[in-house]
Amino acid sequence: MATTQVRDLFISGLREKHRAELENLTLTNQPLRTLKLFVFAITQWIHQAIQTRAGWFMFSSTLVGSIGILVITVGKPHEMTQELFHYVKFGLWWLAHGVASSIGLGSGLHTFVLYLGPHIAFFTMKAVQCGRVDLKTALYYTIRLNTGPSWLNKDCSEYGPPLFPSARGSRVPLSSILPQVQLEAILWGTGTALGELPP
């Protein structure tokens, strides 16, 4: 009887300790352990999902489909790496400007006024001037330090006839312009939110 009570106390103590560890397990407190447990949980979920016939079919068809899409869209591995590098550089550029805007860096001038606002304004003016919004050949063609996007200096005749003609030139709807600049705005906004996090 005494050994069962000792064992029950020991088990309840372990449960209490486990509960306390779970409360302290966050990405900010223990990032490596949290990521390790996340990867472990995902691996375990995939393993359990492929135990059934339907789960195995779903997993294998998703894997084959993903590989097929990669092979069709990107011809060579170095091109895929180069494209990925462009997207990472693009994302880090706008995130960094968002962080710089929220922490200030002593300038007092937000990077929205210096970079994001002019980018949106230039794109809107060029879209209205050309009467079309398909100016970018890739999402990452934006304003960068000492370089401008390729669409900024091109003549409108290179894009073809206007897609939004009207009697007074061209009227491009705002709902068509917003999707073309929203990724930059979202990344910049995410950067400002990250910059507000306490150190």
The structure tokens listed for 59 are 């997993």
The DSSP bridge partners found for residue 166 are 169
Q: Taking 60 as the threshold, does the pLDDT of residue 108 lie above it?
A: no
Residue 194: CB atoms within 10 A of its CB come to 14
Q: Taking 60 as the threshold, does the pLDDT of residue 1 lie above it?
A: no
pLDDT per residue over 26-41, tens digit each? 777 778 888 888 888 8
- Give the pLDDT confidence score for residue 167 in this predicted structure: 46
Q: How many residues does the chain have?
A: 199
Q: What residue spans define the domains of the chain?
A: 1-73, 76-199
Task: Bin 18: left if φ > 0, else alpha if -120 < ψ < 50, else beta.
Answer: alpha
Helix-helix angle 77-103:174-195, to 10 degrees: 70
Q: Taking 80 as the threshold, does the pLDDT of residue 189 lie above it?
A: yes
The structure tokens listed for 71 are 């092979």
* Beta-carbon contacts of residue 149 (< 8 Å; ≥ 6 apart): 136, 141, 142, 143
pLDDT per residue over 26-85, tens digit each? 777 778 888 888 888 888 877 877 777 777 777 788 888 887 777 666 666 666 777 778
pLDDT per residue over 122-177, tens digit each? 888 888 888 888 887 767 777 665 566 667 777 877 777 777 766 455 678 888 88
Report, as an integer, the average pLDDT of 184-199.
83
Nearest to 184 by CA among 85, 89, 82, 95: 95
Amino acid letter, residue 163? L
Q: Cβ distance 153 to 162 under 8 Å?
A: no
Report, as an integer, the average pLDDT of 13-24.
82
Tell if the pTM clears 0.75, that is, is over it: no
